[in-house]
A and B are shown apart, each in its own frame.
Chain A
């Protein structure tokens, strides 16, 4: 198992452009989490899904951010329009809804908005 897969691994874009980050959770996991990591704020939960349904999006910074999970094996985090302050590492994690709540993290996407 390749674990949680994220793409792209690095993204450099200009302010105002749309950015889409992608995540494939571990097969059989039915919970998916999006985190943002910055030097100033550390690791923050943005949103999480159970069985493809958004449960808590209180960490989403503003309307420019949106996340979807159209099926059990794919999720996207979109920023439109992007701003320099969105520059961060974005992590996706997945877990099983039942049993232990250990989260398995992807390698992250390093986003730079110029």
Chain B
């Protein structure tokens, strides 16, 4: 069965410090991994996807199939990064998303 684990419910870092939000998954097929973000009073929205291999708002995430991980990283956190972050998985080309429990990131000034 597909499963996504985000071990940290809460993460707090200081502005300018590096950020890493952890995501591990279990799936035997060919997964597509995503990070979705929900800023305060805004809708849940796609942040990035592993197949795009791009950096969005300074964030990157690399799919590590050996470790079954898709951690989200940013070298220097900004206050506007404070939000709820969800890691999600689907089979390649499929539609059904399985979400992790989410991590609430707080950036302290």
Contacts and interface: CB of A to CB of B under 8 A. Distances in A.
Interface in B79-96: 86, 90, 93-96
A90 interface: no
Contacts of B86: 42-43
Size bracket, chain B contacts: 10 to 19
Interface of A: 3-4, 31, 33, 42-45, 48, 50, 55-56, 91, 93, 95, 97, 100-108
12 contacts: A33-B95, A33-B97, A42-B99, A42-B101, A43-B102, A44-B99, A56-B96, A101-B93, A101-B95, A103-B97, A105-B44, A105-B45
Contacts of B32: 101
Contacts of A91: 44
Given A101-B93, A101-B95, A104-B45, 13 more contacts: A31-B95, A33-B95, A42-B86, A45-B98, A48-B95, A56-B96, A93-B44, A97-B95, A101-B32, A102-B49, A103-B46, A105-B45, A107-B43
